[in-house]
Structure 1
Amino acid sequence: MPDRLMAAIREALTDAAGWEFDHPTDRTALEAALREAGIDQYVALPYAHKSGMAAELNDWLLKEAKSSRMCLPFATVHPADDVHAVVEAAFKNGARGLKFQCPVQEVAPDDPRLDPAYELCVEYDRPVLHHAGTAPMFGDSPHVGIERFRQFREQFPEVRACCAHMGTFEHEAFLDIARADENVYLDTSFAMATVVDRHVEFDPAVIDDGVFEELAGRIMYGSDFPNMPHAYEREFEGLIQRNLSETAFEALFRGAAEQFLGEV
């Protein structure tokens, strides 16, 4: 994200959770760190916390991505914007999908103001990623939770949708909806880090190896890099140590993401 916005996000996270951040935010340094960790490509996930900023933010990110061999840019929109216009412009300019940080943007997955965005996802064959779970500090938010996500799925079953952070703290319910809905995905970001219990009450061990085998192709590796208060390796080291089949490993670290992103 642009420097001022990234600094504001980090300041808000530090104030809310006491987290400190050592990872670089400059794109060149950020991508060098990811390459060192063995990453070929990454998805950039913007979000707009107020109306009137999404179009400019999308344009900035799409321009950055054009000069990068690694960056796969998503776009965002605020529910008070001209949702159809902002999203269509982003898709036409190369955005690979949409991101909604539901509690921060104060918009639930099933908010009818987002219907034009989902309709465009169907038209352009683009996926959407929601922070729809209650972790790490959103248990009282009316904009998250399994019921709001379930209502969205009932309205737009054809849209490929990922719930970030394994749906924590309602991971069991989100796993169940993924089992029943082939267009629902989950990502491992933060929730499966080996140090997650330092920051929130969650143990990655409650999701056993069988889940990754059963849902191979719809659970994908992810991280909150660079906005996470721990070393990057903590995100994947526990996953690598799991006793998974070659098929499940390939799906986790590549195949599921390719399927989620689709052909563009």
Structure 2
Amino acid sequence: MTGETDLDYVTEFRDRLGLSAIVDIHTHFMPEQVMRKVWEYFESAGPLLGRTWPISYRDEEQVRLKTLRGFGVRAFTSLVYPHKADMAAWLNEWSADFAARTPDCLHTATFYPEPGAAAYVEAALEAGARIFKLHVQVGGFHPGDPLLTEVWGMLQEAGVPVLIHCGSAPVGREFTGPEPIAALLQRFPRLRLIIAHMGAPEYSEFLDIVQAHEGVLLDTTMTFTDFFESQDPFPAGERGRLRYFGDRILFGSDFPNIPYSYGHALYALERLNLGDDWLRQVCHDNAAREFGLDRV
């Protein structure tokens, strides 16, 4: 889609569903120097990607915000994540400032298994963080690392969700997959987890986890698009569970780091033919309920 066609499709999509707004819980806004490094990695087809990944919305921050709002997105996230120690606290400071100057962004924070993690997570919670991002694949750590025990306990008690990239797509690593998450939930059964990318490619196994734990949700990020379907297709036999868990699935786009148009992410959901009510839940109602967005 061209930019104009993309906007037209998204506008028509919202109008058909009677949605005044979309809630996108998987978007990336980062310090500019970090975002540039991420884009360079994606466009060079780094080893954790396995293929070329051009960025469709490679624009300055204010342009990206204007684009997202132009699509009718009225609440979104600034998902930041460290790939090594001594980054998370600094990223949290940046994202707190970003949320303060960007009222439609849900205050986002992150953490990493390191001494002091509990202290800066507690500070982020006190500052009003509403969602945390954890990237097991990029960070290369077990989510049950002992250095995170206090953090998980704190987040369980606070009831603040953690959006976690823990599936093995696009390239699996030692600690990706459903087993570490199942083990974590054995220890902290009341955690609010949002499984990024529907847990791709271990879709069925993560749906099993959702079935077993009421506090676990899924996000649609990149799933069902031509880009993902060409490599990690969603199993046709699980369509029934998509419908059944319609109130546990949240729309995410990965904007701006997607190799296709924003409209295609929504079209990929629409062509599942799961109905308008399902689309309204996924694209707005579930996230609005999860984050108390009564006025969105």
The 10-residue stretch of structure 1 (7-16 or 145-154) with the greater mean CA deviation from structure 2: 7-16
Residue equivalent to 1:230: 260
Separation in 1 of the partners of 2:241 and 2:185? 21
Which residue identity lines up with residue 223 of structure 1 in the other structure? S
Residue equivalent to 2:284: 254
Q: Are 2:195 and 1:166 equivalent residues in the alignment?
A: no
Runs (4+) of structure 1 exceeding 4 A deviation are none
Residue equivalent to 2:52: 18
Q: Are 2:63 and 1:6 equivalent residues in the alignment?
A: no
In structure 2, the CA distance between the partners of 1:236 and 1:255, relative to structure 1 (3 Å rule), is: same
Contact 1:101 1:132 (8 Å CA) reproduced:
yes
Residue equivalent to 1:72: 106
Which residue identity lines up with residue 159 of structure 1 in the other structure? L
- Paired residue secondary structure (1:195): helix
In the TM superposition, residue 71 of structure 1 has moved relative to its aligned partner by 0.8
Separation in 2 of the partners of 1:124 and 1:262? 15
Residue equivalent to 1:147: 179
- Paired residue secondary structure (1:41): strand
Q: Deviations over 1:18-72 (max 9, x none)?
A: 2221314533211211122221111221101111121111111111111113211
The 10-residue stretch of structure 1 (121-130 or 204-213) with the greater mean CA deviation from structure 2: 204-213
In the TM superposition, residue 167 of structure 1 has moved relative to its aligned partner by 0.6
What TM-score, normalized to structure 2? 0.81
- Paired residue secondary structure (2:266): helix
Separation in 2 of the partners of 1:10 and 1:252? 28
Q: Which of 47, 52, 57 is the equivalent residue of 2:91?
A: 57
The 10-residue stretch of structure 1 (22-31 or 220-229) with the greater mean CA deviation from structure 2: 22-31
Which residue identity lines up with residue 280 of structure 2 in the other structure? E
Contact 1:108 1:132 (8 Å CA) reproduced:
no
- Paired residue secondary structure (1:98): strand
**Amino-acid identity (%):** 32
Contact 1:126 1:261 (8 Å CA) reproduced:
no
* Structure 2 residue runs without a partner (length 5+): 1-29
Which residue identity lines up with residue 188 of structure 1 in the other structure? T
Separation in 2 of the partners of 1:256 and 1:155? 26
Which residue identity lines up with residue 257 of structure 2 in the other structure? N
Aligned residues: 260
Quick one: higher RCO (CA 8 Å, sep 6+), 1 or 2?
2
In the TM superposition, residue 215 of structure 1 has moved relative to its aligned partner by 0.2
Which residue identity lines up with residue 6 of structure 1 in the other structure? M
Q: Are 2:221 and 1:189 equivalent residues in the alignment?
A: yes
Residue equivalent to 1:85: 119
Q: Which of 236, 241, 244 is the equivalent residue of 2:271?
A: 241
**What is the CA RMSD across the aligned residues, in angstroms?**
2.0
In structure 2, the CA distance between the partners of 1:236 and 1:188, relative to structure 1 (3 Å rule), is: same
In structure 2, the CA distance between the partners of 1:254 and 1:5, relative to structure 1 (3 Å rule), is: same
Q: Deviations over 1:57-99 (max 9, x none)?
A: 1111111111113211221112124111110111111211211
Contact 1:165 1:187 (8 Å CA) reproduced:
yes
What TM-score, normalized to structure 1? 0.91
Residue equivalent to 1:212: 242
Q: Are 2:138 and 1:104 equivalent residues in the alignment?
A: yes
In the TM superposition, residue 111 of structure 1 has moved relative to its aligned partner by 2.0
